[in-house]
Structure 1
Amino acid sequence: MGLALQALAGRLALNVNESKMRSSSRPLASVAALFFMTGMAALIYEVLWLKELGLLFGNTSQAMATTLTAFFLGLAAGSYYWGRKVAAYREPLKLYAGLEVAVAVCAAGYFILLEAYGRIYPWVFDCCGNHAGLFTGVKFALSLTVLFPPAFFMGGTLPVLSHFAAPNRDDLGRNTALLYGVNTLGAVAGALLAGFYLPVWLGFRASYGLAMAISLTVAAGAYVLSKPHTEQSQAPIETGGIAFRPLAVIAFMSGLSMLALQVLWGRMFAQVLQNSVYTFALILSVFLICLALSGFLARWLMAVRFDAGKLLFAALMAGGLLVNIGPFVFLAWTDELHYIGSDVGWYAYLLQIAAPAAVIMGPPLLLLGMALPLSIRLAQNHGPSGGTLVGQLVGINTFGAIAGSIIAGFLILEWVGLWAGIRLVAVLYFLTAAYWFSRTTGMTSNYRQPGRSDSQNLFRSDWWSQRGRLYLPAICILLAVSVFDTGKLPLVKVDPVNEEESLLEFWESSAGTVAVIRRGEHLKIKVNNHYTLGGTGSFKLEQLTGSLPVALHREPRSVYILGLGTGITAGGVLEHPIQSLTVTELLNDVVAASDKYFGAYTNGLFYDPRVRVLHEDGRNYLRGAREKFDVMIGDLFVPWEAGTGSLYSLEHFRTVAERLNENGLFMQWLPAYQLSQVEFDVIARTFLEVFPYATVWRADFGALRPVLGLLGGKSNQDFAALSAGRHQKLLLHFAGDLVSIRSRFEQARLNTDDRPIIEFSAPVSQRSIKTGRQEWLVGAKLIELMEALQPSASDYMIDVPKPSKQWPQAGFNLQKAQWLRYQGLLKEAEQAMANYRKLLGEEEQ
């Protein structure tokens, strides 16, 4: 009878507990949904902040690092502060609502601050621009005032919700892991929205408003769900003898290693991708998906009562091994650094990126991402409240992330290199596992229940004895520097057989990988393995892109070039009797490569007292500098590469116009072989919005890889001086008046900083052209454009002597002949050449 009553009482207690669990799971699910939206809004904010501040401070690696550091500092401080405060609130969800409102309010103030900084930035540039360290410090201070306040309130959300979700301390680890995973999935959604759709659909400012609306919606939902919270026990309780300090070290090292991996993996994939806004967003999204899944995996393993301490050790060891073999898998997948998806369409290309990213990053992230949730589980009875504990560990983890991003970007890539850097991170995981083992030897955890299956008690096996775990990290480190030595893997692809290529030298830095390659008799510079900045094989073309714009000005004294490349273009400027030349180059290693290997082709560029070569973001420099120029030249850029679209924006063209002297000229060179008709029309319409006088020039006469130039000025352009001097033949390169065909561009959209059309359309066009759905502005499309420009060319020839009046038309016939010959229309090509010779005049026959 007694046993029956005990069984009945146990059954009633179980029913009551199940009822409580069901009732408590409903608000937890609702709160998790709100936290998903919090993560989504946070990533939208972050992407937009980094973009806007990049435009203001420049896209140098130092500027980006200072911006990220300011953001992470806010998150870390907020996590620690609000974690300590949450225990005093009886209704944590109201505090959560207040944090979301504060985020939205601070975000609204961002517009005011950014406008103010835009106004004072020229003054800051004047004061600090020549002192790199001081200038970086000022940028950090400005970033801090913009980003720290909203990030401070964002950082408090996880500790506050962890406090709400775990009135019973035994639930803290599991429920925090759930919230961690859900919030990270929300971040995935935010990264995809901000990286793929919102800037094009809404523009950056409206997208920012959407993120604020999401924050306020979350605040309203949390306020509605709020109710008095069950008090957690206040007395600190030790768990199985595990001190807090080792767990804090694990949290810090987890953040450091994870962010270092993100930086290094990002650089690794940059060697084989188009490196557009889409590919960056996709790689980030895969990374975050894997982290979210690691949170769910940690929750499940906690639920089935695996020993959390031994599970943490195993995850660090196995994850470190997978990190170390990742480069070998990457090189095998890409066939020694071949470009991924070279001949596939847009969606197939995205899939071909996602697949290796998931295979290489997924398994280690599933294991290593559990380090923070497991640390919270092991420490869940430390401290006065669950929120305080989570705030401390998450804050420490975020400080580690700051250290990891800086160490990877500025120390590892500069001093160790990509492949050896990944090995170093793997070794860090092995050392962290060894530290964890050394600090917990002999200690036991209370999170494994007796009576479980053998598979759940696998850590009892002799293999996991103390001696085995002592030697395992040392064995793995030995394997990392011997059998799996990544330090000797190739980083630059060369083809010595088919292309007669050989690698002369390469540099690694936080900004990218720069290589000088010999191909036959010629030299070229490559960035991140696939982007060619020019070479001696195109010497005449590159020299003309510098010489022609200067020749078009009557009295060129001061010249500015955005982009150094090989330096051949800048060397072409020095053929003229100018007084000063300023060149800005984003990559410092490109300057070193040009100086060391291309000096013979640059007319003494680096030793001419008239020349300044600056390591600076060109757009940023023009925005801050106050000097003006007679001639300004925008070099060739890959249109689909992230950040390039801003160099074709309305705001940038306006800045250029402000830096021109009264009769100044601006030449923007365009790679027509990398632009569809859509992108060209957008750039042309945007150009015409700023420059009332604009003409089109051809840098060469080929029809398959043509380079076009848009020449803009504040006053009408006069080419009479060309016909009388040694630059007479340059009239062959004149195509016509861009203003005369303005109607062709009326339907095109303006490319602005708020609506970056080029940055989002050019990558898609590149893939569409690969499948034949679109065409580059070459061949028949180019000839049709040149033909439309021909009638307007004569308007500029009024003051040109008669023998030279028809030279622009002659240049058109020469280009047309090249295209006809390529098509096999030899008779028509010969007729075009006959017209060319006739239009030149007898002295050129």
Structure 2
Amino acid sequence: MADTSATMEASYMQPPRGIENDSFGSSQLKRHFLAVSACFALSGFAALVYQTAWMRQFAIVFGTAHLAVATVLAAYMAGLALGAYLIGRLMHRIRRPLLTYAVLEAGIATCALAIPWVLAGIRWLQVVILGGQAAPPDSAGFMQTAFYTSVAFIALAAPTAFMGATLPLLARYAVQRDQQVGPRIGLLYGLNTAGAVAGVILAGYLLVPNFGLFGTVLTGVAANFLVFLIASGLSRGAEAAQSVSNRTVKSASDANRAWRWMLPLIAVSGANAFYLEVLWSRLLNHVFGGTLIAFTTMLATFLVGIAIGGSVGGRFAKTKQRAGYTFALAQVAIAIGSLTTYLLIDTIVPTSADLAQSILMAAIIMLPSTIFIGATFPLAVRNVVIDERDATVGTARVYAWNTVGAIFGALLAGFYLIPALGFSLSAKASGLVSLLLAFASLLFLCDKMRTQLVSLGIAIIAVALFYDAPRPENLLRAAVNYGGKEVNEIFYAVGRSATVMVLDVDGRFEMRSDGLPESTIYRIGSPPSKHSQYWLTALPAIARPEADDLLMIGLGGGVALEALPDTLATIDVIEIEPEVVAANDALAELRRRNPFEDERIRLVINDARSALSLTSKTYDIIVSQPSHPWTAGASHLYTREFLQLAKSHMNDNGVFLQWINAQYVNEELLKTLAATMADVFSNVRLYQPLPNVLLFLGANGTLDIETEIVQSKSLAEFAHNDYRQVGIASAEDIASALMLDNDRLRLFAAGAIINTDNRNMLATHSLPRGDGMGAVGLRDLLRSRDALLHRDGTAIGHLGDQLDYGYIATQLVQTRFEQRAFELARTFNGSSVQYLIDGIGYASFGQSAQAQQAFAEAVRLDATDAAATFSLIKPYLGQIGTAQSYTRLEAAAAALPASALAVVRGWQAGQRGDWEMLRSLDAELADIRATDLWYPIGAKLRVDWRLAFAQSSTDSGYGQQGLELLDGVLAFYWNFDLYVLRAACAFVADKPQAFLESAWWASELVASKVDKAVEGKYAFSQAEYATTASRLLGLSREIERSGGAGGLSSRALQVLGMLNDTVHRMQQLAATN
């Protein structure tokens, strides 16, 4: 035994076989080392290619809840640490390290090829162990957490352990002399990281978008096998194998006591590095928008700094003492870099959406610190390693401790510290940790550093007491240009997966997630409106009036939950970010309706895909309105596999609704989403209630909403008030939003790429800057297949004159579809309907004379057209029955239907102040259909007499009745007179909030007309100028009088400012005209 030991020790001291003998010169040795270094760079390339793909593949199974993502990341890094630890323990048994390295690379490739089957097994096991729950579960359950942790580690243990073993293994080959420890380790570390930079850039910018996840993995596999071939070939020519006894290795390690301090220090340093990475990523998401490109760019920038630092740091790691001192200096530099860049971050926010500017910002923020972070690794290795004999074990130990620290840093940062401390305190805490690490390094690793210790101590105290960086407001709001609007913060929180803000922007609440718009929420007292988010629940509920159970994916601002029909029994809402729920809670007393007051709603905090996978519950309606399709938390909710999962949780006659915004997609992506919906559901429609809002409605049963409403009158009988409050009261309201029926949607989507988990086009090709098609591009794209314009053979074509196209035109014009209304008129070429619609269009632009000519022509062509007749005589209602009237006017009025005649008589009674007469007409006025063009005037008359009674009797109940009547109209007809009338009713009903909001909406409507007038798209008449300005000033005076001793509230001042500004702009416009 002694002889064997002596032989092994003697062998250890001899030059490595094939390196310093005559047949293998130093120049050839250098070439071999360069080749090995290139291999190791290629290994880093493959590793980051895998990480980019695997994080997305695992998210498909585990979901994107922060717990699941963090679990996968921790398992990945734990495997790296395990590999480094094991290779350090087993190194004395390895005779040919280069060949072993080659085999490990082949093992990584083999494991990567097996990952899809491993994930399929995990998915099956997940359902077996955790599935079948009665309702979608939260993500924080113990069993779910334990399952994710264990299977993620098992799935990734082999390939990541192989990765973690490679650097210590190559240290055995590369380090032949003591002087090479720092430089060679630093060089290998830097080259490996440089390869990682190339891997993440290639994967994020090219491979994932164009070849999908599996194609990306295959690229990594090819790189690994290439390394295997090169390294195995090199091992035959120059294998730096060394026979080192276990005793010798142990002796070399134990002789160095520095590791007792350095290893904990490098662990904390690793934790702080990943803490900073999470912090920077969270901050820069507000600039980059959470895209794959954002992830790629931020990670690549981080790694560039690490690569530079690793390579340069090794040059300063010549001796243990110097390495320890330089390690301390590096920590000081990290602190200075991170604290300074956070102070300056708000001054370098890009002024445009240019990617180059964003990349430059990321470099300015990250590189000053990451270069020094990268330098710490070779410095730590040099400090731990005594000489070349200890290089492998020392490298393994440092790598393992550093990686374990990184695990804790990433988990603590994402789960606890950053959400608890916020951004500013997190930056301060990280800087203090770096300074404390520097202090500890000088104290325990260096001799005679009293002056430096005192200086550092003072610096630590100074930072702790005086460093007070403000929150980077410009950065947090970088995603939106508010254009000088008044902006006030209502809610702010740094959540686990997103930063959530609620801002009061010009009178409305806007919820933002990492700066991206999520929802607009109206204030308490606001009038009803045709809010696009109301359609998310209203449209499928109208399609399935018998529905009992609804699932909403994505809470957002909760607006879609404000108008749920009473017929629904249960409403489950899945939201991934708890702070979104908290933001809604913060608005509970400020918003028009608080959805959480509805006891049917059950909130689930989880990733929707994961939650659905674990429940057996089925639904009649599933509404998917997650965040934008490029964001990490939502991208996997737009794929075929998710739609199939949702479909499996739908009852037999269930419906599925998918939201998308046209600003963020181009023609290719819209066709892809349409094709994906059509691939999963047998019947699909596309609705467009507002210019940029697209709603795909899918079902395996029938979808014939308009026909069912016309034939059964179901909408008038079912949840009547619920839908009137959101602007839906008839088949015409649905038909006006129908863009593509099932047949035309399939023609539109023919040949498009299906959006899949493997190749998620919407995740990689969406347009987060909002420079997609938009309303105009969408109109041009869909015009040739528009179901409303080309009715023959479509879902509404057979309804013919059962639909009121005059009313449809008013809704189109009101919702800014003027061009579509014009084209609708052309489909009735030469008929009274064409001229009726043209007249409605002219009137919307303030062109009264042209409107009257069009209405007159419509009546000439069809004297029985009541809508055209009423529109023609509407400006003269006050003259009918008076001396100013004339025969043709009287004749036209006499030809009107009874409900329209009731409006004429009511108008005359109102002019006379005969409120009792007007009151006697109330029942007739109440019978007017919402689609009749005289409906808003009938509603106004019903309110007029109530308002008069309220003012004369001081009975506020009449004012409340008037409010309720108007709230049943304003979602259909956005009318200035009705908003002013609502303000009056609110005043007498003692509803100050409703008064202020009515005044605000009245002013905003006028302001939009002024904007159109400035653009030459609206013409104010002199009478309209005078009456409108007078009423706005009247509202202003009433607000000023309401102040009392306590003064005006902030909202009252805001509304007052809006009113006065609008009047001022009108006066300027009148002066220029």
CA spacing shift, 1:602–1:828, aligned 2, 3 Å? closer
User: Within the alignment, does 1:548 sit opposite 2:560 as a pair?
Assistant: no
- 2:949 is matched with none
- Distance change >3 Å, CA 488–CA 200, structure 1 → 2: closer
The 3 A distance-change label for structure 1 pair 783 and 356 is closer
Aligned pairs for 1:802-821 (under 5 A) are: 803-804=802-803, 806=805, 810=809, 818-819=818-819
In the TM superposition, what is the alpha-carbon distance from 1:795 to its structure 2 partner? Answer: 3.9
Q: Is the contact between residue 622 and residue 655 of structure 2 (CA under 8 Å) also seen in structure 1?
A: yes
Other-structure match for 1:213: 222
What SS does the corresponding residue of 1:413 show, helix, strand or coil? helix
Correspondence for 1:417:
422
Residue 67 of structure 1 deviates from its aligned partner by 0.6
Range moving further from structure 2, 34-43 or 250-259: 250-259
Identify if the C-alpha distance between structure 1 residues 636 and 440 changes in structure 2 by more than 3 Å, giving closer, same or farther: closer
Match of 1:36 among 34, 41, 49: 41
Structure-2 change in CA distance of 1:16 and 1:654 (3 Å): closer
Contact 1:200 1:756 in 2 (8 A): yes
Q: Could you say which residue in structure 1 is the equivalent of 2:1018?
A: none
Distance 2:188 2:465 in 1: 40
Q: Which moved more, 1:604-613 or 1:412-421?
A: 604-613
Partner of 1:459: none
1:259 aligns with 2:255: no
- Of 165-174 and 490-499, more deviation after overlay is shown by 490-499
Other-structure match for 1:407: 412
Cross-structure match for 1:609: 599
- TM-superposed deviation, 1:207: 2.0
Q: Aligned pair in 2 of structure 1 residues 527, 126: CA closer, same or farther (>3 Å)?
A: same
Offset, 1:422: 1.4
Match of 1:229 in 2: 241
- Using structure 2 for the length normalisation, give the TM-score: 0.68
- 1:71-220 matched pairs, under 5 angstroms: 71-126=76-131, 129=137, 132-220=141-229
User: Are the counterparts in 1 of residues 103 and 228 from structure 2 also a CA contact under 8 Å?
Assistant: yes
SS in 1 for 2:334: helix
2:345, 2:365 within 8 Å by CA — same for their partners in 1?
yes
CA deviation after TM superposition for structure 1 residue 237, in Å:
4.9
Residues 147 and 178 of structure 1, relative CA distance in 2, 3 Å threshold: same
**In structure 2, distance between residues paired with 1:500 and 1:600:** 18
Structure 2 partner of 1:503: 489
Cα distance change on mapping 1:793 and 1:303 into 2, 3 Å: farther
For residues 675 and 598 of structure 1, what CA distance do their matches in structure 2 show?
33
- Residue type matched to 2:118 in 1? L
Kindly tell me: are residues 200 and 504 of structure 1, through their superposed partners in 2, closer, same or farther at Cα, counting changes over 3 Å?
A: closer
Alignment of 1:683-832 (within 5 A): 683-700=673-690, 703=691, 706-719=692-705, 720-723=707-710, 724=713, 725-726=715-716, 727-728=729-730, 729-763=733-767, 776-779=773-776, 781-782=778-779, 785-786=782-783, 788-790=785-787, 791-792=790-791, 795-797=794-796, 803-804=802-803, 806=805, 810=809, 818-819=818-819, 829-830=841-842
Classify 1:410/1:780 alpha carbon distance in 2 versus 1 (closer, same or farther; 3 Å): closer
Secondary structure at 1:511's aligned position in 2?
coil
Q: Secondary structure at the match of 2:620?
A: strand
Q: CA deviation at 1:809?
A: 6.1
Superposition map of 1:408-557 within 5 A: 408-442=413-447, 466-486=449-469, 490=473, 492-493=476-477, 498-536=484-522, 540-557=531-548
Task: Tell me the distance in 2 between the aligned counterparts of 1:111 and 1:366.
Answer: 36
Task: Give the conservation status (yes or no) of the 8 Å contact 1:632–1:665.
Answer: yes
Counterpart amino acid of residue 412 in structure 1:
L
Cα pair 1:501 1:517 within 8 Å, conserved: yes
- Identify the structure with bigger relative contact order (alpha carbons < 8 Å, sequence gap 6+): 1
Retained in 1: the 8 A contact 2:204–2:293? yes
> Contact (CA 8 Å) 1:103, 1:154: kept in 2 or not?
yes
Residue 235 of structure 1 contacts residue 384 of structure 1 at CA under 8 Å; is this kept in 2?
no
Shift of 1:209: 2.2
Superposition deviation, residue 707 in structure 1: 0.9
Q: Is there any run of 5+ residues in structure 1 with no aligned partner, and where?
A: 1-14, 335-339, 443-464
Report which of the two structures shows the higher radius of gyration computed on alpha carbons.
2
1:376 paired with 2:381, answer yes
- Change in Cα spacing, 1:380 to 1:473, as seen in structure 2 (3 Å) is same
Alignment partners' CA distance in 2, 1:145 and 1:313: 37
Distance 2:368 2:519 in 1: 36
Letter aligned with residue 480 of structure 1: V
Give the distance between the partners of 2:252 and 2:415, measured in 1 at CA.
41
Write the distance in 1 (CA, Å) between the matches of 2:498 and 2:930: 50
Partner of 1:722: helix, strand, or coil? helix
Aligned to 1:22: 27
Give the distance between the partners of 1:355 and 1:527, measured in 2 at CA.
Answer: 23
Q: Which residue of structure 1 lines up, in the alignment, with residue 987 of structure 2?
A: none
Change (3 A) 1:108 1:808: farther
Q: Residues 152-203 of structure 1: CA distance to partner in whole angstroms, max 9, x if unpaired?
A: 1111101100011113233222111111000001111111122111123322
Q: Aligned equivalents of 2:746 and 2:157: distance in 1?
A: 46
Which residues of 2 match residues 525-604 of structure 1 at below 5 A? 525-536=511-522, 540-572=531-563, 574-598=564-588, 601=591
Q: Aligned-pair distance for 1:21? A: 4.3
The one-letter amino acid of 2:145's match is: T
Q: Could you tell me whether the CA contact under 8 Å between 1:254 and 1:397 is conserved in 2? A: yes
| 1:67 is aligned to 2:67 | no
TM-fit CA distance, 1:755: 0.9
Deviates more, 1:830-839 or 1:291-300: 830-839
Question: Which deviates more, 390-399 or 102-111?
Answer: 102-111
Q: What secondary structure does 1:203 align onto?
A: helix
Greater CA drift, 775-784 or 797-806: 797-806
Aligned partner letter, 1:661: N
Query: 1:799: how far off?
Result: 8.0
How many aligned residue pairs are there?
786
Question: Using the alignment, how far apart are the partners of 1:290 and 1:352 within structure 2?
Answer: 18
TM-score, normalization: structure 1?
0.86
SS of residue paired to 1:716: coil
- Which of 307, 316, 330 is matched with 1:292 structurally? 307
What amino acid maps onto 1:776 in structure 2?
Answer: M
Aligned mate of 2:336, from 321, 324, 328: 321
Aligned to 2:932: 843
Contact 1:83 1:392 in 2 (8 A): yes
Counterpart of 1:342 in structure 2 is 352
| Residues 1:441 and 1:175: Cα distance change in structure 2 (over 3 Å) | closer
Match of 1:633 in 2: 623
Higher deviation after alignment, 274-283 or 544-553: 544-553
Name the CA distance, whole Å, in 2 between partners of 1:816 and 1:501. 26
Distance 1:415 1:93, change over 3 A: same
Distance 1:515 1:177, change over 3 A: same
Other-structure match for 1:665: 655
In structure 2, runs of 5+ residues without a counterpart are: 1-19, 524-528, 717-728, 824-836, 845-850, 859-864, 872-928, 935-1073
Name the stretch that deviates more: 360-369 or 585-594: 360-369
Q: Displacement, 1:842? A: 7.8
Distance 2:346 2:228 in 1: 47
Per-residue deviation, 1:117: 2.0
C-alpha separation between the residues in 1 aligned to 2:173 and 2:71? 34
Q: CA RMSD in A?
A: 3.3
Corresponding letter in the other structure for 1:472? S
Q: Distance in 1 between matches of 2:52 and 2:636?
A: 16
Tell me what 1:250 maps to. Answer: 265
Identity %: 23
SS in structure 1 at match of 2:80: helix
Q: Residues 330 and 21 (structure 1 numbering): CA distance in 2 closer, same or farther, change over 3 Å?
A: farther
Q: Distance in 2 between matches of 1:383 and 1:249?
A: 22
